[in-house]
Amino acid sequence: MSPDPQHVPAPIDPRNELSEFLRTRRARLQPEDVGLPYFGVRRRVPGLRREELAQLAGVSVAYYTRLEQGNAHNVSAAVLEAIADALRLNRAEREHLEHLAKPAPRRGRTAAVRPQRVRPQLQHLLDAMDSVPAYVLGRRCDVLAWNRMACALLGDFGARPPEQRNMAWIIFMDPASHELYDDWEGKAQDVVAGLRMDAGRSPDDPRLAALIGELSVKSPEFRQWWAAHDVRSTGPCAKELHHPVVGRLSLAFESLMLPADADQMLVTYAAEPGSPSAEALRLLASWTATDTGAAPNRDLSAT
């Protein structure tokens, strides 16, 4: 997203992000969940108290309180691991905590928001996948490259202005996405969780801040889910879609990190061979072969 030159959004505050992340993780646990006695006393706030979490992690209450207030100066890896264990964080949450508590040096954060570029060889691979919808997702959920089948299935990315070639923007701002995804809420929450991970890695990214600001103002659902501070990795799963041309499809969703391309992910949708969904994709491929609107991306760089 391109920030208004007259008003560049404030960068994301890692200290506040750390504070809210720890607070929301603590709030979801009850004493009985972690083996602490529960005496039935009414609690002023949901979840574990700070002193209970500190006890579980083996740190002083004062130390944990400072950490939850965003003061993570010189926190050790061992302490972070103990707190992650006490909060029962999953792998994605542990990675996010590490980014928030130990942000990259400013030079590294600046490098992380440089223009995103797609290798020509990767675009050639996408074009060769003529029966599989596929696209490349970059930082802040930017759609960087795609093939004809991705356009046919998900909508023509090339017809959108560059600032709207973004999966978060599409999910929350394009009404057609509500009709396309049977489980729109699940898809939308996955997108928000991905943006949270990006916010931890690149807090100085003005385009990310602009995107979050726009969606927070214009979408109540985004605002609600963003406040939950949930993060998770998106693994293989089944997606149910309802396409306006070929109807219902049940597709296997895969997201593959590209080791040679920092912060880029190859996303594919595939049908089980011989299934009605495979036939629907075949019909979709035939339809798009004669439709010039769903052209593959030829601009191999993005901001």
The one-letter amino acid at 261: D
- Domain 116-302, architecture per CATH: 2-Layer Sandwich (3.30)
Residue 187: pLDDT over 70: yes
Residue pair 147/127 in contact by the 8 Å Cβ criterion: yes
Region class of 280: left (phi > 0), else alpha (psi between -120 and 50), else beta: alpha
Domain boundaries, the chain: 14-109, 116-302
**Mean pLDDT in residue range 15-44:** 84
Q: What distance in Å separates the CA atoms of residue 167 and residue 178, rounded to the nearest whole number?
A: 13
> Tokens representing 186?
């699940």
Residue 238 φ/ψ, nearest 5 degrees:
-95, 140
Among the listed residues 187, 159, 238, the one whose alpha carbon sits nearest the alpha carbon of residue 146: 159
The one-letter amino acid at 57: A
Among the listed residues 123, 40, 22, 165, the one whose alpha carbon sits nearest the alpha carbon of residue 80: 22
Task: Dump the DSSP string for 3-42.
Answer: PBTTBPPPPP-HHHHHHHHHHHHHHT--GGGGT-----PP
Among the listed residues 226, 224, 202, the one whose alpha carbon sits nearest the alpha carbon of residue 212: 226
The one-letter amino acid at 232: R
Q: What distance in Å separates the CA atoms of residue 26 and residue 155, rounded to the nearest whole number?
A: 40
Average pLDDT value for the chain: 88
Q: Give me the count of residues in the chain.
A: 303
Residue pair 10/92 in contact by the 8 Å Cβ criterion: no
CATH topology assigned to domain 14-109 = 434 Repressor (Amino-terminal Domain) (1.10.260)
> Tokens representing 134?
């596929």
CA 256 to chain centre: 14
pLDDT band for 186, please (50, 70, 90 cuts): very high
> Tokens representing 174?
């394009």
Q: Would you say the C-alpha torsion 73, 74, 79, 80 has a positive or negative sign? A: positive
**Tens digit of each residue's pLDDT (9 = 90 or more) over 256-282:** 999 888 889 999 999 999 999 999 999
Among the listed residues 246, 231, 164, 235, the one whose alpha carbon sits nearest the alpha carbon of residue 199: 231
**Tens digit of each residue's pLDDT (9 = 90 or more) over 38-60:** 655 666 777 899 999 999 999 99
Residue pair 262/82 in contact by the 8 Å Cβ criterion: no
pLDDT band for 293, please (50, 70, 90 cuts): very low
Which spans in 129-166 are helix H?
Answer: 148-154
Domains 14-109 and 116-302 equal at CATH topology level: no
Q: What is the pLDDT of residue 233?
A: 82
Residue 223 burial (CB count, 10 A): 14
Q: What is the pLDDT of residue 72?
A: 83
Radius of gyration of the chain (CA): 22
Residue 7: pLDDT over 80: no
Residue 10: pLDDT over 60: no
**Mean pLDDT in residue range 211-227:** 96
